[in-house]
């Protein structure tokens, strides 16, 4: 545990270190950098799930972006670094299917 990584995330890191899981999904942007130092690119922000749904054709890009906006409003992410970071998930030329 560190000043940015809380006990819940620390316990998840132990599971990943032990080989019990491949990825850690988090919505704690403040802890992201420290988590990345420990497990590299095995940490992802939770909005990646929306991108995966788009990539699999389950929802369209516009629906995913609308849901991300809804989450951002409810979680007070609008204009914050976590929202800008999450928006980058959709800046890779995904079609609006």
Q: Do 17 and 35 share a domain, yes or no?
A: yes
What is the rounded distance in angstroms from the CA atom of residue 13 to the CA atom of residue 7?
10
Q: Do 70 and 56 share a domain, yes or no?
A: yes
What is the rounded distance in angstroms from the CA atom of residue 89 to the CA atom of residue 94?
10
What is the rounded distance in angstroms from the CA atom of residue 87 to the CA atom of residue 37?
22
Encode pLDDT of 57-88 as tens digits: 999 999 999 999 999 999 999 889 889 888 98
Q: Do 21 and 41 share a domain, yes or no?
A: yes
Q: Do 38 and 11 share a domain, yes or no?
A: yes
Which tokens belong to 9?
Answer: 């995330």
Total domains in the fold of the chain: 2
What 3-state DSSP class applies to 45? strand
What is the rounded distance in angstroms from the CA atom of residue 33 to the CA atom of residue 24?
13
Encode pLDDT of 83-95 as tens digits: 988 898 888 544 4
């Amino acid at each position: 545990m560190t000043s940015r990584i809380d006990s819940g995330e620390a316990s998840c890191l132990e599971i990943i270190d032990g080989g019990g899981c491949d990825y850690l999904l988090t919505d704690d942007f403040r802890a992201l950098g420290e988590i990345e130092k420990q497990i590299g690119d095995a940490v992802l922000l939770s909005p990646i799930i929306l991108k995966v749904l788009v990539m699999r054709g389950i929802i369209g890009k516009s629906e995913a972006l609308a849901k991300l906006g809804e989450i951002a409003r409810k979680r007070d992410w609008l204009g914050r670094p976590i929202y800008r970071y999450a928006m980058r998930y959709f800046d890779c030329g995904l079609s609006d299917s």
